[in-house]
Amino acid sequence: MGASSLFGKLMGPAGVAARGALLLLGYLVLLAAGALGWAAVFAVAGVAVLAGEYAIARWSPATHVLLKKVGLRGDYRQLARDLATVLLVVATVRPSAGELSLILLLPGAVWVITVFAGALNTMIERRNPVSALVRNIDLGPITFAPRPPRWAAWLAGEQLALVNIALAPAAVVAATLDSATPVVVAGLAAVAVAAVVGAIVAVTWLRGRGSGPGPLMPAVQRWLDAYRPEVALYFAGPAKDVYQANMWLAPTEALRQRSVVLMRSREAFLELADTRLPVICVPASVDFMNLEFGSIRAALYAANVGANIHMLREPGMKHVFVGHGDSDKAASVNPYSKVYDEVWVAGRAGRERYARAGVGVLDADIVEIGRPQLAGVHTFGAESVDRPFTVLYAPTWEGWLDDDPYHTSLVLMGPRIVKGLLAVHPGVRLIYKPHPLTGSRSKQAKAAHDRVVDMVGAAGGDTDARSLDGTHHLVVTGRTPALFDCFNQTDLLISDVSSVVSDFVQSERPYVVANPGGLPEDDFRRQYPTSRAAYLLSPDCGELEKIVAVTRAGDDPMTEARRELKTYLLGPADANPMDRFQEEIGRLCG
């Protein structure tokens, strides 16, 4: 088993649950030792649970989430530590009535302050909502309601109860000295610290009384009114899908019209690629719908998601679905697409795909614009030849359907494809770039991916490549190098039925489409038109070595078919897709 596969098992669901169970076992031992007066066992268990808490916070956030889901939050665990401390003191020291009252009241006072400080801090945060995030935008001076110092704001809440942490070692000392004094002193110190934090938060809350609504949204609206954008690239998907918006940044930047990127997820906003465009992220639907977009004439949608409705409700603009790549997959003819005013596709293939699907998208609403993203993809013969013959394996992900084992070649064929490529003689250079969502739904896809990575690593390849330089094998899973950069290093592509194939046809280089279901060749090419100019790869990959040999020798019988398919998929070869994109945007904004 490879190191990455072993690590995957240790960090899998079973490992998450096991770490949570071990931590809870430590708490049970701690409580039992306190009740029975076993000071030594209490000390060992106390160190163990604190070490476990630190390890989970540092290296296993999934365990922390699991404990929270089952009702064992961090503050409850701190309460268990406090209870164990009181039990130990009562069992070993047998304090007087007065001492017992202090031992109970002091930790309780800390918890009371914790609750009220947390509530006040929440009210302060609501006066200063982070209702919007912006990039490449100057909102001018903004005055927020008073806030406590950052350290006090962080402590206010369940973290404040951590000041009771000194009670546990004090209890061990008390048991050793047979005196309650150490616990009383530690309790007084904890109350003093909590009182200082609580006072700071309370004073800050009092200073901010009467503050109006948060200033961010009015500032964003003022900027929109001054800038008056005409085109909006709208993306409401999660961070894992942000590549869908990234592919439209450069074409939108190149437009003559003033443009803006509108987003709805903080996490996606942080993952958005570098761009010169102004970017606004407004997560809350009410805040977003309260904005006025009167100047926008064209809204471009890269993905079909439910939150699109918050922009689609705007009547004064044209709503255009531009998607994130044409392919023969069912996702490329989603019935949701009929809600838009227009659907833009690359070429005639996209138009005919909607006609065959019959999902309600009218032919009159379809516009062929080419693929403006492909301007940087070199056509056949334009690339540097000062490198080994390079094969790019770029499988798609497993998809949303559990009952479709043939959506991706990775599960049934991936390791076999990679093994065959690594065994080719003379050797080739392999670049493995999986879909960004690979393994997010299927354990089998994740396992196949890990196996492929192990195979590339065992062959001396770079399993976390950040550059395409050099001549060694590469695994590229990050945002960079980008897929189109990989295209320009590729002599032969192996992929699935996906938009990767459609885009690669721009290069006019040979490509292979995997046929994991083993469909007859004529049926496969009829069902998936993007494979008309492809070499097909059956489940046993028996044709792989011959395909590599033929394409490497330059004796490629599919060359002319690829040129014809390029026109069908991406539009006329002499048409500049960026010009076509600009023309259609100009029509909508005119």
What CATH code is carried by the domain that includes residue 417? 3.40.50.2000
- Nearby residues of 239 by Cβ (< 8 Å), 6 or more positions away: 265, 267, 268, 270, 271
Q: Are residues 202 and 178 both part of a single domain?
A: yes
The predicted structure's pLDDT at residue 385: 58
Q: Are residues 120 and 203 both part of a single domain?
A: yes
Q: Are residues 233 and 349 both part of a single domain?
A: yes
The predicted structure's pLDDT at residue 12: 54
The predicted structure's pLDDT at residue 209: 81
Chain centre to alpha carbon of residue 468: 24
The predicted structure's pLDDT at residue 58: 86
pLDDT along the chain (590 residues), means of 10: 43 74 93 94 94 88 86 87 93 91 93 93 83 94 84 87 91 93 94 96 88 81 97 96 94 97 96 96 95 97 95 96 83 88 94 92 94 82 67 90 72 95 93 91 91 95 92 91 91 93 92 93 92 93 93 87 91 85 95
The predicted structure's pLDDT at residue 37: 93
Q: Which among 370, 398, 432 is the end of a domain?
A: 370
- 241 domain-assigned: yes
What gap in Å lies between CA 525 and CA 506, rounded to an integer? 19
Q: Are residues 481 and 390 both part of a single domain?
A: yes
Q: Are residues 276 and 413 both part of a single domain?
A: no
Positive or negative torsion for Cα 119, 123, 126, 130? negative
Q: Are residues 265 and 397 both part of a single domain?
A: no
Q: Which among 214, 236, 266 is the end of a domain?
A: 214
- 223 domain-assigned: no
Is-contact 238 212, C-beta < 8 A? no
Number of domains in the chain: 4
- 258 domain-assigned: yes
Strand spans (E) along 154-286: 231-235, 259-263, 279-281
The predicted structure's pLDDT at residue 406: 64
- 90 domain-assigned: no
C-alpha angle 29-107-28 in degrees, rounded to nearest 5: 10
The predicted structure's pLDDT at residue 13: 61
Q: Are residues 53 and 175 both part of a single domain?
A: no
Q: Are residues 201 and 338 both part of a single domain?
A: no
Q: Are residues 537 and 410 both part of a single domain?
A: yes
Residue-wise burial string across 340-374, b where 16 or more C-beta atoms lie within 10 A, e elsewhere = bebbbbbbbbbbebbeeeeeebeeebbbbbbbbbb
- 584 domain-assigned: no
- 197 domain-assigned: yes
**3-state class (DSSP) for residue 298:** strand
Q: What are the distances in angstroms from CA 337 to CA 324, 407, 460, 492?
A: 13, 22, 46, 33
What gap in Å lies between CA 237 and CA 56, rounded to an integer? 30
Strand spans (E) along 75-219: 133-135
Q: Which among 158, 190, 214 is the end of a domain?
A: 214
- 590 domain-assigned: no
The predicted structure's pLDDT at residue 7: 40
Q: What are the distances in angstroms from CA 568 to CA 248, 509, 529, 530?
A: 22, 16, 10, 9
Q: Are residues 467 and 514 both part of a single domain?
A: yes
The predicted structure's pLDDT at residue 553: 86
- 184 domain-assigned: yes
Q: Are residues 451 and 550 both part of a single domain?
A: yes
Domain enclosing residue 162, as ranges: 95-133+144-214
Q: Are residues 449 and 503 both part of a single domain?
A: yes
Predicted structure pTM score: 0.70
Is-contact 255 277, C-beta < 8 A? no
